[in-house]
Chain A
Amino acid sequence: MADPNRPRAAFTPWDRRELPGSFSVEESAKRVGHYKWIEMRTFEVLGGWVATVPELDVKLRLGTHTYHHAWHAELWHKRLPELREMNQERLNVPPNDELVAFVDAMTEPEAPDLTIEKLVGVYRVLIPHKIAAYTFHLNNTSTITDAPTVRSLNFALADEFDDWRDGEMLLQSLIETPDEVQRAADRQAELEKLLLAAGGIAGPGSIGSPAQGEPDPESEQVTP
């Protein structure tokens, strides 16, 4: 056994985490508030759709996924006060009216013959955008100072990837004709345009600003 009195570094040799991060406490809280809002809309609509889809396998998958997104909403709800946001409802808002328009359009289908439209909205549009925004946050926040957010992002991302795969495979199994391929593509294009106008699930800067090579022109760059 090594000499217990011998000084050791605070970080294990394989730990390459760094202090700098792209988000201030306020910016992180703002994004987390948007995440809570969109996760709530996600679990609410999935729960509502369960009764409207006749396909048994889809019905049961939606039921399971309803809980995943509710749990994400709870994670973000609990994170907000830790980011100095004691009023958990103040930041539980969409980033802009355009995202509300997207959600309204995504949640509009009800008829039992619209399962493709329902699934495309969530699994080919919303969830890929959530994965993108969460991944951007994960890759740009301080892995030391914002470690609790990183942990929640990792949990949420694991679910999002699994659910995306489930939803995509459901769609592939439901789409049987060229016309249905077109239906799915049309629905995706319609919703993508709305989400483009919103700038992503957290508004402009959801996945950074490629032109400047920076995450968000409005956010504070924190370097030690």
Chain B
Amino acid sequence: MRKSLPVEDLARDERFVRVPITDRMNDPRSVTNTRMRTQAKLTPKRPDASDAARSLMHGIFVGEIQALEGAGRTCWDFETGDGRDEAPFALKLDMARQCWDEARHCEISVKLSDWMGTEIGEFSEGTFLYEAACNPDPVLRLTGVNRALEGLAIDVFNTMRDFGDAAGDPVLEFCEDWMLADEVTHVKMGSDWLRRLTADDPERRKNALEFQRVVDKLFSLGGFRGEDDESPVKLARRFRELAGFGDDEIDEIAEVAHEALREAQARRDALAADAAS
């Protein structure tokens, strides 16, 4: 088996349909590309709350598969050691543990999706999470996946947990709370390893944090995640603190999300201007 498996070779059964992130971002039907932003917060009162929640849960499911695959590849892709292109033994053990957690999250997501009336493959699969997990530097994998994307998972699970509570769905609330606990662990794992592996290499740390910023921005998806009340997914400050983020780091993510929102707004305005001319 090769070291490093390209994203196009990810193995899936025939139910799954992949859509590149650029296509998703540019899809005019996307909430972020319409004037529906003020309705975008996920609450039971939204007319499309059921479909939006099912779509988000399916997104969680495919994200968990890729998180599982990414953690597994980190076990395989690197020789064990302390060199820059190696992964320490203890890091591999953590990634193996994450494999188990993500496999459980897949199981939970499948059952929740079924509970919510969704079939696997009913919504498309974006593959950016796995792409972030393919970086040849294990530290960048950690910042891209464990800090940026698993950090987003904290925000998403917190949002879904609140949605479950508001919708009177104790099963959803219960499961999301358990997965949230795991995600805090994974993000903390990423924070701890980032500090440990780059303690004597400020340049590497800078590159890793820059990569995290890029991933954070991409996954803010034009304001999908942010601190604004209308954001579909709200930044979960308290849980991020538990996961090892400092206040300044959380502020930066909030700013990145706000920046993504502004850019999306400018894109919508440009599209509207084009349509009018």
A residues whose Cβ falls under 8 Å from a Cβ of B: 40, 43-56, 59-64, 66-67, 69-71, 73-74, 77, 107-110, 112
Contacts and interface: CB of A to CB of B under 8 A. Distances in A.
Q: What is the predominant secondary structure among interface residues of chain B facing chain A?
A: helix
Given A47-B73, A66-B99, 16 more contacts: A40-B89, A47-B71, A48-B73, A48-B75, A49-B72, A51-B9, A52-B9, A56-B120, A60-B103, A63-B99, A63-B100, A66-B96, A70-B96, A73-B93, A110-B2, A112-B11
B80 interface: yes
A71 B97 CA distance: 8
Which of A54, A61, A66 gathers the greatest number of chain B CB atoms within 10 Å?
A66
A88 B100 CA distance: 26
Contacts of B76: 44-45, 47-48
A63 B92 contact: no
Contacts of B130: 51
A64 B1 contact: no
B102 A43 contact: no
B255 interface: no
B96 A47 contact: yes
Interface residues of B, number: 34
A50 B66 CA distance: 10
Interface in B1-57: 1-2, 5, 9-13
Contact of B96 (A51, A59, A61, A67): A67
Contact of A44 (B5, B13, B92): B92
A44 B76 CA distance: 5
A183 B93 CA distance: 33
A67 B1 contact: no
Nearest to A43: B96
Contact of A47 (B9, B12, B72, B107): B72
Interface string B86-114: 00010011011101101110110000000
B132 interface: no
Interface string B57-91: 00000000100110111111100100000000100
